[in-house]
């Protein structure tokens, strides 16, 4: 695919009353076991929630929410698992980040607790801003939109601006259209079809449709009906695969296995479509993404003096047949050595332009035995631009033996 696959965010509700799995994981041991199953099934992030936002759910105090979630967050983080805390309470978010969470997922978008944006800014955690108009109203009295895609986009833009004003790094903001939260089923499908409009704001986008009522309404009377929540997992996985095509950053799901399988299919389809192999030409790939380097590149003196963060992605086209048959590291690219070579070159040799850096790193990648093609992307998320933006990047694609 030409864009990275979405991350899979596994849902872990440590609540007695969530709409899909309430009561199943209130015991910490059961919660941890389920989180480990989600990871084994393909999830990269676990989203821990201690308070249900379904219609009619009983509101709880932040203290009770913290009693439920903090031991689970700490245990997951101690195992090296990326954790998101699903909360509308600033105190819970702050304590969860201190316990190891790296993402704050606020369904109110920072509107339920006036301190939430400040907590997101102070902790430096990623901040998921969801669109809502309150606890979902099944009668849809708050679901009146003239143009649901444009209005949700514009309202999320206002919330993102408020977060930036409070000190949240724009690169840390993630937007969620809030499917099922005061949107009818038809409006939910319109929002999914309009995800490109939401992505045009320049932020990452999370899609959270897993097991929601709009899927149940779609399946009712079709393909065996909608008898259990798990019956909606195949439809959830399909939405995940379609979301990959429009560049969603992550998909939030209850069943990671089906979504991971659907994303694998989407990736294989996209790769084949983008690069149909010539006879005998290797199309295996080794990919290293998000390699962080602190360096002193830039055209301004202050960039050269103070330095800043750069993120580097390297995708190498190789043949892994020999390595896979022999199961020998010496027959493939050692990605640890590749990472060391990229970091060393990027951090020790300052240049004005990231275009120059990308060209140079491509040459380094092609110097590894067996590499036929190198695609290098250099991201400059902290570039000195007087506008709200998520990232600036340059990508070069170079083939072995070609002259530039």
Please identify every residue annotated as catalytic: 212, 252
164 HSE (CA, 13 A, CB side)? 16
Q: Are strands 284-295 and 308-318 parallel, antiparallel or unpaired?
A: antiparallel
Strand ranges in 280-380 using DSSP code E only, listed in sequence order? 284-295, 308-318, 373-379
Q: Residue with structure tokens 């939430």?
A: 116
Token digits for 272?
Answer: 């084949």
Contact (CB, 8 A) for 361 and 346: yes
Contact (CB, 8 A) for 330 and 322: no
Contact (CB, 8 A) for 236 and 254: yes
C-alpha to C-alpha distance for 238 and 253, rounded to whole angstroms: 12
Radius of gyration of the chain (CA): 22
Q: How far apart are the first and last CA of the chain?
A: 25
In terms of Cα–Cα distance, which of 61, 59, 50 is closest to 101? 50
298 φ/ψ sector (left φ>0, alpha ψ -120 to 50, else beta): left
C-alpha to C-alpha distance for 342 and 293, rounded to whole angstroms: 9
Strand ranges in 203-325 using DSSP code E only, listed in sequence order? 204-207, 250-253, 284-295, 308-318
- Rounded to the nearest 10 degrees, the angle between the axes of helix 233-245 and helix 185-193 is 30
Q: Which helix (H) or strand (E) holds 176?
A: strand 173-176
Phi and psi at residue 398, to the nearest 5°: -130, 140
Contact (CB, 8 A) for 16 and 50: no
Give how far the C-alpha of residue 128 lies from the chain's centroid of Cα atoms, to the nearest Å.
Answer: 10
Contact (CB, 8 A) for 289 and 4: yes
Cross-strand partners of 173: 127
């Amino acid at each position: 695919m030409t864009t990275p696959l979405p991350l899979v965010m596994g849902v872990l509700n440590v609540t007695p009353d969530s709409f899909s799995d309430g009561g199943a994981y209130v015991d910490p041991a059961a919660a941890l076991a389920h989180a480990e199953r989600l990871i084994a099934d393909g999830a990269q992030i676990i989203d821990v929630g201690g308070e249900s936002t379904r219609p009619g759910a009983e509101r709880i105090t932040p203290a009770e929410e913290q009693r439920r979630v903090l031991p689970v967050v700490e245990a997951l983080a101690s195992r090296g698992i990326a954790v998101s805390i699903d909360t509308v309470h600033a105190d819970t978010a702050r304590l969860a980040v201190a316990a190891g969470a790296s993402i704050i997922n606020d369904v109110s978008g920072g509107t339920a607790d006036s301190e939430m944006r400040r907590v997101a800014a102070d902790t430096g955690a990623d901040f998921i801003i969801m669109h809502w108009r309150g606890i979902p109203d099944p009668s849809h009295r708050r679901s009146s939109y003239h143009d649901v895609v444009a209005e949700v986009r514009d309202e999320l833009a206002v919330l993102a601006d408020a977060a930036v004003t409070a000190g949240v790094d724009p690169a840390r903001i993630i937007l969620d259209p809030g499917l099922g939260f005061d949107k009818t089923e038809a409006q939910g499908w319109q929002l999914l079809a309009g995800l490109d409009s939401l992505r045009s704001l320049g932020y990452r986008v999370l899609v959270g449709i897993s097991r929601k009522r709009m899927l149940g309404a779609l399946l009712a009377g079709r393909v065996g009906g909608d008898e259990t929540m798990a019956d909606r997992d195949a439809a959830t996985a399909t939405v995940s695969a379609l979301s990959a095509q429009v560049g969603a950053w992550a998909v939030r799901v209850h069943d990671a296995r089906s979504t991971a399988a659907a994303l694998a299919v989407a990736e294989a389809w996209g790769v084949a479509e983008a690069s149909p192999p010539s006879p005998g030409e290797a199309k295996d790939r080794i990919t290293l993404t998000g390699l962080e380097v602190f360096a002193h590149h830039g055209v301004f003196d202050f960039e050269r003096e103070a330095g800043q963060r750069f993120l580097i992605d390297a995708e190498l086209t190789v043949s892994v047949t020999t390595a896979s048959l022999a199961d020998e590291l010496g027959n493939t690219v050692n990605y640890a050595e590749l990472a060391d070579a990229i970091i060393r070159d990027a951090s020790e040799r300052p240049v004005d332009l990231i275009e120059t850096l990308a060209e140079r790193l491509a040459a380094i990648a092609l110097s590894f035995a067996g590499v036929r093609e190198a695609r290098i992307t250099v991201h400059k998320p902290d570039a000195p631009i007087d506008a709200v933006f998520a990232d600036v990047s340059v990508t070069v694609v170079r083939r072995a033996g070609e002259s530039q």
